[in-house]
Amino acid sequence: MQGTLFVTLRLADSIPKSTVRYYKAKRDWLKDQLRRVERICAEAQSAEHASWLTQLEQLNHEWFLKCEDILHREAVGPTWMRDGRVADKVAENLHTLDGDAYRLDAFSVMSNHVHTVFRPLVSSELMEEILRSWDDSLARIPALSKIMHTVKGRSARECNLILGRAGSFWEHESFDHVIRNGKFDKTIRYVLNNPVKIRVVRNWEDYRWNHCRKELIERFRMPRLDNKCPTCFSLSSRLARLNVRR
């Protein structure tokens, strides 16, 4: 599964700008330290380089968790993908490039963000570049930038048309992360269980805007729980949470 990416897209203005500025400043400072070490150290894998790289990875993880908390609480900004027509259009666009630009393993379309897991279909040389990159430098690799531009650009136009609006739909920055060895299954489960985590559904397969590559479905299938269990969600409460417009 080497070279598989975990990518999170979020709607424009869905995170407070002050929060974005704070984490960006911290990240830029750590990246400057990494570049400084790379300039003065002939050995890229020096202890100091490894220390700064670890701190950058920890900050990226902290930033991701912070964003997830804000997004799941729908604390700020639009929730356009509560509209089922918009969510359908986003899902459709993710499927469009499957088998052409990437192998699509999974996605989950939430009210204000999308998690997706895919493996770019690129040359072995480009794959090596992807594996060597810092997580937040992946967007500067032209082939990956083209993939994201295609997915976000087309879906933004079509979703804005549905909503009868103009302007930015997606936030320019996305969270891009190379899935490390041994973390593939954990990442797929995280993506598929996003709607379960916020109690929209009890089983990820019941969520209309989840996708799992057919070869993986049995691997990640959850056992069905007794519908008489008192903690089960009623259909009406699930629809209320989804706010689906049919």
CATH number of the domain bearing residue 139: 3.30.70.1290
Q: How many domains does the chain have?
A: 2
The two tokens of residue 90 are 């986003």
Burial call 129-147: b when 16+ CB within 10 Å, e when fewer: ebeebebbebbebeebeeb
Q: Do both 24 and 119 map to the same domain?
A: no
- Kindly report, residue by residue over 205-242, the tens digit of the pLDDT: 999 999 999 999 999 998 876 554 444 444 434 444 55
Phi-psi bin for 152: left (phi > 0), alpha (psi -120 to 50), beta? alpha
Domain limits for position 51: 17-75
Question: What's the gap between Cα 225 and its chain centre?
Answer: 28
Q: Do both 128 and 27 map to the same domain?
A: no
Burial call 8-42: b when 16+ CB within 10 Å, e when fewer: bbbbbebbeeeeeeebeeeeeebbebbeebeeeee
pTM value > 0.75: yes
Q: Do both 36 and 85 map to the same domain?
A: no
Tell me how far apart the alpha carbons of residues 189 and 183 are, in angstroms, rounded to a whole number.
10
Confidence at 204, pLDDT banded by 50, 70, 90: very high
Degrees, nearest 5: CA angle 160-162-163: 65
